[in-house]
Amino acid sequence: MNNKQNNHPPGRQYRQTGAMSAIAITFIILILLAGGGGAFYYYSTLAEKAQAADKAASAQSKDGLPPIYLDLEPAFIVNFEHKDTLRYLQANFSVMARDQAVLDKVTLHMPAIRDRILILLSNKTYAELSGKARKEKLRLEILLEIRKIIGTSDTGHSVENIYITGYVMQ
């Protein structure tokens, strides 16, 4: 008699599971290799894109001057209504220029700049303040408002960029 007990109903044949295990292990290994290759490709192209962006940023630097930053403080806090609920936004911004005279003009005109930014923020809805693309649009609107107020310096420089350094909506 056979030492192995066959508990299966008569008339049905069952395969050994060893072949299925080998196929499953091979399939899992192939998936892991494909995932590793995909990750390697993604991160290698990501590094190339970062290097290209660094080169573009350095090529754009006017006169080879390093960037200078100025925080617009204190934080901007505005109320807005969303679905019949009063909400608020607290945002921090920093401006970047390559000429100290430009930042001196920003400091000189800070009350006017803060006024324009507060009016701009308070006229936005929840939908206009959320999402990456909308924040980018808001950032560009603020940059244009600042440029309108301060213009350019005697050397022809202006505020090059504005950065969102803090952003909380509740």
Q: Are 82 and 67 in a shared domain?
A: yes
Q: Are 28 and 97 in a shared domain?
A: no
Domain CATH code at residue 74 = 3.30.479.30
CA–CA separation, 22 and 17 (whole Å): 9
Domain residues for the domain of 55 are 14-60
Q: What is the pLDDT of residue 121?
A: 93
Q: Are 86 and 72 in a shared domain?
A: yes
Most confident of 19-23, 51-55, 83-87: 83-87
Q: What is the pLDDT of residue 35?
A: 83
Q: Are 75 and 141 in a shared domain?
A: yes
- Count the domains in the chain: 2
- List CB contacts of 94: < 8 A, sequence separation 6 or more: 69, 70, 71, 72, 162, 163, 165
- Establish if 79 belongs to a structural domain: yes
- Establish if 3 belongs to a structural domain: no
- Establish if 91 belongs to a structural domain: yes
Q: What is the pLDDT of residue 5?
A: 58
Q: Are 50 and 73 in a shared domain?
A: no
Of 58 and 64, the structure prediction assigns the larger pLDDT to 64
- Establish if 76 belongs to a structural domain: yes
pTM above 0.85, yes or no: no
Q: Are 135 and 93 in a shared domain?
A: yes
- Establish if 7 belongs to a structural domain: no
Q: What is the pLDDT of residue 151?
A: 84
